[in-house]
Amino acid sequence: MPRFAANLGWLFTEHDFLDRFAAAARAGFRAVEFAAPYAYPPEEIAMRLLDNGLECILINLPMGDRAKGDVGIACRPERRAEFREGVERGIVYAQALGVPRMNVIAGLAHAGEDPAALRATLVENLGYAAAELAKVKLDLLVEPLNDIDTPGFLVTRQAQGVELMNEVRAANFGLQFDLYHVAMMGEEPLAALDRHRAAIRHIQFADAPGRGEPGTGRVDYAPIFERIDGQGYTGWVAAEYRPSRETAQTLSWFVR
């Protein structure tokens, strides 16, 4: 079976964030990830990782203000300076937490805007971030999000992520492959895994629709996990779902 990690932004939310590390360790996880650590001092998070014998495998670069409608800012021309400041801040956290890779969320295209101009900004910012992360031996990932849950999102398909990789041409830049978003965009997960295997640096999953644990939707995860192993993928596969009940009661896929 793959090496499974828990996304603490989605799992164990019956606990306060800083208490989720111990809950994940008790459940048998040895690695965790989370999108937004920036509300907490990095030293406090690092201590929770150490105390619970956990590895932090991924965080996101700052994504703007979700309360104001931001879903990433990397494509926003008027926020280039904010994005670059976020790269610096993200590196501080990544180094404090021992994180090897950081994910970037592209952002939204609003009505009446020129998608080509937004995409040009995104490519510019991705190139900048990849270069800055390379200086400290960190990888950068880009994650396509489905436009059913996130209308207007600029990068919705895995092939678009690969196109961005081909334009940026940075050795430390790869694809974050989220099986939930793949399924929600109507792509067949096994075929998409095969098609994009060379670009994939990190994998996440949830069932679809509904974004619950495996078994709550229509995606059959047993053959998907077998395919991931069969491809020789040695990275982490992170559970990023909305538990239908207390998290510990939704881990039958993990126990198997």
- Cα separation, 12 vs 241, in Å, equals 10
Active site residue 226: no
69, amino acid identity:
G
Q: Which of 119, 118, 126 is nearest to 78 (CA)?
A: 118
Active site residue 78: no
CA distance 175 to 35: 16
Q: Which residue has the tokens 């606990």?
A: 15
Chain centre distance of CA 221: 19
What residues form DSSP beta bridges with 174? Answer: 141
179 contacts 207 by C-beta, under 8 angstroms: no
Angle between helices 80-97 and 115-135 in degrees, nearest 10: 30
The b-or-e profile of 190-203 (16+ CB within 10 A means b, else e) is bebbeebeebbbbb
Catalytic residue among 143, 163, 167, 246: 143
The one catalytic residue in 33, 187, 213, 240 is 240
Length of the chain measured in residues: 256
DSSP letter assigned to residue 61 = P
Please tell me the distance from the alpha carbon of residue 66 to that of residue 135, in angstroms, as a whole number.
29
Task: Show Cβ contacts of residue 50 under 8 Å, excluding neighbours closer than 6 positions.
Answer: none
Just list the catalytic residues: 143, 240
